[in-house]
């Protein structure tokens, strides 16, 4: 049996290859994809809940795609609603948001899915 850390790293590496190929073909910004990918890769390795290749692959893939597509969309909202960053450029904010979204994805997506599952079960009763 493979060691869990090696299995996680292999799954995360496979997810990183898949996301760069898929994201660039579908028009995501490559620098935001890579920044989100690096953050998602590091967080995925550190999370004890992600213990096999499939989970690592999915976490890295989804988090970096969210970073690649979500950070350019979030920049105007952040510039409009957060005070104190008037002199910051949109590009630097976009890269910071890509890292934050990529790092928060492996933790935030499972939490959001669990909450949606609980709400769906409450509605169906």
Residue 41: give the domain boundaries.
Answer: 4-124
Q: Report the number of distinct structural domains present in the chain.
A: 1
Q: Give the pLDDT score at 4.
A: 55
Q: Which region among 10-19, 27-36, 90-99 has the lowest average model confidence (pLDDT)?
A: 10-19
Q: Average pLDDT for residues 85-102, to the nearest whole number? A: 85
Q: Which of 106, 114, 102, 120 is nearest to 33 (CA)?
A: 102
- pLDDT-based confidence at 34, cuts 50/70/90? confident
- Model confidence pTM above 0.75: no
- pLDDT-based confidence at 3, cuts 50/70/90? low
Q: Which residue has the tokens 């490559």?
A: 30
Listed in sequence order, the DSSP H helices in 26-89 are 30-46, 53-81
Residue 112 has pLDDT above 90, yes or no: no
Residue 80 to residue 37: CA distance in whole angstroms:
26
Q: Give the pLDDT score at 115.
A: 92
Residue 104 has pLDDT above 90, yes or no: yes
Element (H, E) at 11: helix 4-25
Q: Which of 32, 2, 3, 1 is nearest to 19 (CA)?
A: 32
Residue 102 to residue 122: CA distance in whole angstroms:
30
Burial class (CB within 10 angstroms; exposed 0-12, middle 13-18, buried 19+) of 15 = buried
- How far is CA 37 from each of CA 40, 53, 54, 55, rounded to the nearest angstrom? 5, 16, 16, 15
């Amino acid at each position: 049996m493979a060691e869990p850390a090696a299995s996680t790293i292999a799954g995360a590496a496979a997810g990183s290859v898949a996301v760069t190929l898929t994201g660039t073909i579908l028009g995501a910004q490559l620098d935001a994809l890579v920044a989100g990918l690096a953050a998602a890769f590091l967080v995925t390795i550190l999370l004890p809940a992600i213990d096999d290749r499939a989970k690592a692959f999915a976490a890295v893939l989804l988090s970096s795609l969210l970073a690649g597509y979500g950070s350019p969309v979030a920049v105007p909202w952040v510039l409009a609603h957060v005070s104190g960053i008037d002199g910051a450029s949109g590009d630097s904010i976009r890269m910071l948001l890509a890292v934050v979204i990529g790092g928060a994805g492996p933790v935030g997506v499972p939490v959001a899915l669990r909450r949606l599952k609980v709400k769906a079960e409450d509605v169906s009763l």
